[in-house]
Amino acid sequence: MKRNPLVISCLLYLLTVEVMAQDIRVHDPVMIKDKNVYYLFCTGMGISVFSSPDMKHWQKEKPVFDMPPSWAIKTIPEFKGHIWAPDISYHDGQYYLYYSVSAFGKNTSCIGLATNKSLDATSPEFQWIDHGKIVQSVPGRDLWNAIDPNLVFDEEQKPWLTFGSFWSGMKLVRLNENLREIAEPQEWHTISKRARDFKTDDYDAGEAAVEAPFIFKKGNYYYLFVSFDFCCRGLQSNYKVVVGRSVKLQGPYLDKAGMRMDQGGGSIVVLGNASWPGVGHNAVYSFDGTDYLVFHAYDAKEEGKPKLIIEKLEWVDGWPVSSFNK
């Protein structure tokens, strides 16, 4: 029987999309490779951890923290140990894990840091050491929110931390060389924001919803990925990922139309659909010469549970392109 090549192509694409969705429940995933093992860190009690030999079959590991950090309990009264949106990096012989503690819907928030010499729990060097608070936002004092951290280095290899959720947008602040504190004199930049009305200070910022910054260097550009609109609402989530780029880490970041991201700009990378109504809080990595887009999506088949999605990221005319919405 003669097979229609167009039908075969469509079936292969549908199979590919199905494989991309990993059958583990995650929120705000980040990933790194240690030797031949991939490690995934995400929001959860004590920070959830998974390991995999192939980015397809994942095994749950012990959380980073057995007990909530004592400094976080003292600083954030509503904090009960559920740690948000970690960020994992390897630098100068150590793994750096930044993480968020917060009260939901408020900018009563802190970013902390833990380090480890190995991610292999069987290694004699495996031990998470907590360094406490790096950045804090205080309601009534700050119009920014200290969550969703991402460590990045500029062209001179100076370290910076970008972070933010809602309020006055995504911030970028220079760190000391030890990566454990803000450098003095302090240098701050706003790299993405959306206009909002500050007559209220609640979470429901409407059209101003933006969070989860992640910066990835490719060629001559720094690419800033952020998530627009709302997560955490199951089937009612309308999360989406947008991007802009800049030749300087500090910005300004421009989208495809030339609009600045600190003035509301951003070009779509992934967008929700009937099967996955909300997709976002992404990270981008290069493993063995291939770039990957990592994010969570709310599964319509399972009442909006957040699932892990990993797919190869292509680049067309200098811009990241995802096959997710084809």
Predicted confidence at residue 9, as pLDDT, reads 36
Predicted confidence at residue 20, as pLDDT, reads 53
Q: Could you say which of 28, 87, 255, 311 is catalytic?
A: 28
Predicted confidence at residue 13, as pLDDT, reads 33
**Model confidence at 85: pLDDT above 90:** yes
The two tokens of residue 2 are 């003669």
Query: Which numeric CATH code is attached to 5-321?
Result: 2.115.10.20
Section 213-241 average pLDDT: 96
Asked about 66 being catalytic, the answer comes back as: no
Res. 325 pLDDT band, cuts 50 70 90: confident
pLDDT digits (tens, 9 = 90+) for 116-128: 999 999 999 999 9
Asked about 201 being catalytic, the answer comes back as: no
Asked whether the bond before 252 is cis by omega within 30 degrees of 0, the reply is yes
Of the chain, the percentage scoring pLDDT greater than 70 comes to 90
Res. 2 pLDDT band, cuts 50 70 90: very low
Nearest one of 176, 167, 212, 171 to 194, comparing CA atoms: 167
pLDDT digits (tens, 9 = 90+) for 5-63: 333 333 333 333 333 557 799 999 999 999 999 999 999 999 999 999 999 999 999 99
What residues contact residue 284 under an 8 Å CB cut-off, 6+ apart?
A: 214, 216, 223, 225, 291, 292, 293, 294, 313, 320
Predicted confidence at residue 175, as pLDDT, reads 98
Of the chain, the percentage scoring pLDDT greater than 90 comes to 83
| 284: three-class secondary structure by DSSP | strand
Predicted confidence at residue 69, as pLDDT, reads 95
Q: Could you say which of 148, 211, 255, 262 is catalytic?
A: 211
**C-alpha distances out from residue 169 to 37, 142, 150, 192, 227, Å:** 35, 11, 14, 6, 11
Res. 207 pLDDT band, cuts 50 70 90: low
∠ Cα 165 213 240 (to 5°) = 80
Give CA–CA dist 71/216, Å, rounded. 31
Where are the chain's structural domains?
5-321
**Model confidence at 198: pLDDT above 60:** no
Section 199-227 average pLDDT: 82
∠ Cα 253 185 71 (to 5°) = 90
